[in-house]
Amino acid sequence: MGTATGGDAGAGSAPRVLAAELVGEDTGRPPLVLLHGFTQNRRCWGLLAEDLGRDRHLLAVDLPGHGESTDAGAASVEETADLLHTTVRERFDPDVQVDVLGYSMGGRIGLAWLSAHPERIRRVVTIGATAGIEGPDARAARRAQDEERARRLEAEGLDAFLDWWLGLDLFAGLPEWARFDRQRRANTVEGLAASLRHAGTGSMPPLWSALAERRDQGVLGDALILTGEHDERFLEVGVRLGRCLGGRSETVPGAGHAAHLEAPEATTTLVRGALDDTPA
């Protein structure tokens, strides 16, 4: 266990650091990089990580502005992808390909990493993720919403913001154990606000065309796109994303946005099938 460092922020400045914890058993299977969602940290994977860690190494990362990665709070999605690439290159043998599992914000960042460095990624799984907003007006509207949320966070404080955030319909299906209140409340106002402003969906360039080009070049590995049955906002997006990547899209029965926390057994079965050398 421990931390891995990313690249330098620039000459004369402190290096940006992504905290990353290596857990699980090394059985020779490809390592799996875990990328969490907004307001979480690397320890918010629950039963899914416990199961997957039985027979492979998991590199659980604190994304910029979260957990112990507060020094990288102002990183964009593209900059985060580069930080991840450096972190994994320093942690593992340069020739080793990794699998990637990203939830929501972590899924978007994983797709950016896949677009920029497809040679490093063997298989990718996303849960409740998108490749971005294509229309400039819709993207600007989302950027304004992200800014409004950042200001709300700064005005009301972390605890009040998290109470509001977890009260959204998006998370109505979360069981009590899967809220990870203690882990979320270990974050900071400054880190989360920076994440909203620099790595929110409104700030990231859409990746659809770039990923489709990578698919046509034949350089993408296998992909599985998971969406909870009740996550209506992402169901059509998930189907489209699967086609874009040339992979599969699956619906997790009985789950909402956080399918891996609301239906961990069903999600684990699907993820294992995608990551096995001979997919089920």
190: in domain: yes
Residue 17 CB-half CA count within 13 A: 15
Whole-number Å distance between alpha carbons of 46 and 118? 28
Give the mean pLDDT of the chain: 91
8 — pLDDT class (breaks 50, 70, 90):
very low
Distances (CA, A) of 203 to 103, 141, 148, 194, 230: 18, 10, 13, 11, 26
Average of pLDDT values for 69-76? 82
Least confident of 10-14, 69-73, 193-197, 273-277: 10-14
Q: Tell me: the pLDDT tens digits for 104-146? A: 999 999 999 999 999 999 999 999 999 999 999 999 999 999 9
Decide: 69 and 63 in contact? Cβ < 8 Å. yes
Whether 179 maps to a domain, the answer reads: yes
Instruction: Report the CATH number that the domain containing residue 143 is assigned in CATH.
Output: 3.40.50.1820
Q: Which residue has the higher pLDDT, 176 or 15?
A: 176
Position 265 in a domain: yes
Whole-angstrom distance, CA of residue 40 vs CA of residue 36: 6
Q: Does residue 166 sit within a domain?
A: yes
* Encoded tokens for 213: 């080009």
**Given this model, what pLDDT does residue 90 score?**
86
Q: Confidence band (pLDDT; 50, 70, 90) for 277?
A: low
Q: Which two tokens stand for residue 274?
A: 């995608």
Residue 248 has pLDDT above 70, yes or no: yes
pTM: 0.93
Residue 13 is predicted with a pLDDT of 42
The C-alpha angle with vertex 234 and arms to 232 and 238, in degrees rounded to 5, equals 130
Is the pLDDT reported for residue 233 higher than 60? yes
Confidence of residue 268 (pLDDT cuts 50, 70, 90): very high
Percent of the chain scoring above 90 in pLDDT: 85
258 alpha carbon, distance to own chain's centre: 12
Looking at 12-21, 101-110, 120-129, 253-262, which range is the least confident one? 12-21
Share of the chain above pLDDT 70, in %: 92
3-state secondary structure the chain: CCCEECCCCCCCCCCCEECEEEEECCCCCCCEEEECCCCCCCCCCCHHHHHHCCCCEEEEECCCCCCCCHHHCCCCHHHHHHHHHHHHHHHCCCCCCEEEEEECHHHHHHHHHHHHCHHHEEEEEEECCCCCCCCHHHHHHHHHHHHHHHHHHHHHCHHHHHHHHHCCHHHCCCCHHHHCHHHHCCCCHHHHHHHHHHHCCCCCCCCHHHHHHHHHHCCCCEEEEEEECCCHHHHHHHHHHHHHHCCEEEEECCCCCCHHHHCHHHHHHHHHHHHCCCCC
Provide the pLDDT for residue 158.
98
Range of the domain at 233: 4-275
- pLDDT tens per residue, range 36-68: 999 999 999 999 999 999 999 999 999 999 999
Which whole number is the average pLDDT over 213-238? 96
Is 242 or 9 the better-scoring residue by pLDDT?
242
Could you report the per-residue pLDDT of 137-177, keeping only the tens digit for each? 999 999 999 999 999 999 999 999 999 999 999 999 999 99
Q: Kindly list the distances between the CA atom of residue 150 and the CA atoms of 28, 102, 260, in Å, as whole numbers in the listed order.
A: 42, 23, 26
What token pair was written down for 100?
A: 């990637």
- What's the structural domain count of the chain? 1
pLDDT at 250: 97
Mean pLDDT (whole number) for 171-198: 96
Q: For position 17, what pLDDT does the model report?
A: 58
Bridging pattern class, strands 98-103 and 222-228? unpaired
Residue 72: pLDDT above 80? no
Whether residue 280 is contained in a domain is answered as no
